[in-house]
A and B are shown apart, each in its own frame.
Chain A
Amino acid sequence: NAGVMQNPRHLVRRRGQEARLRCSPMKGHSHVYWYRQLPEEGLKFMVYLQKENIIDESGMPKERFSAEFPKEGPSILRIQQVVRGDSAAYFCASSPPSYGTGELFFGEGSRLTVL
Chain B
Amino acid sequence: GQQLNQSPQSMFIQEGEDVSMNCTSSSIFNTWLWYKQDPGEGPVLLIALYKAGELTSNGRLTAQFGITRKDSFLNISASIPSDVGIYFCAGRTGTASKLTFGTGTRLQVTL
Residues of A within 8 A of B (CB): 1-2, 4, 31, 33, 35, 41-45, 48, 55-56, 58-59, 91, 93, 99, 101-109
How many Å lie between the Cα of A91 and that of B40 in the bound state? 11
Complex interface residues of chain B between 91 and 106 (CB less than 8 A to chain A): 92, 95-104
- Cβ-defined partner of A43 (8 Å) among B31, B44, B50, B88: B88
Overall SS of chain B's interface:
loop
B81 at the interface (CB under 8 A from A): no
Which residue of B43, B92, B99 has the most chain A CB atoms within 10 A of its CB atom? B43
- Picked from B40, B41, B95, B103, the residue with its CB within 8 Å of the CB of A102 is B95
Q: How far is the CA of A4 from the CA of B75 in the complex (A)?
A: 28
Number of chain B residues whose Cβ lies closer than 8 Å to a Cβ of chain A: 23
A77 to chain B, nearest CB (A): 15
- Bound: A45/B2 CA distance, A: 11
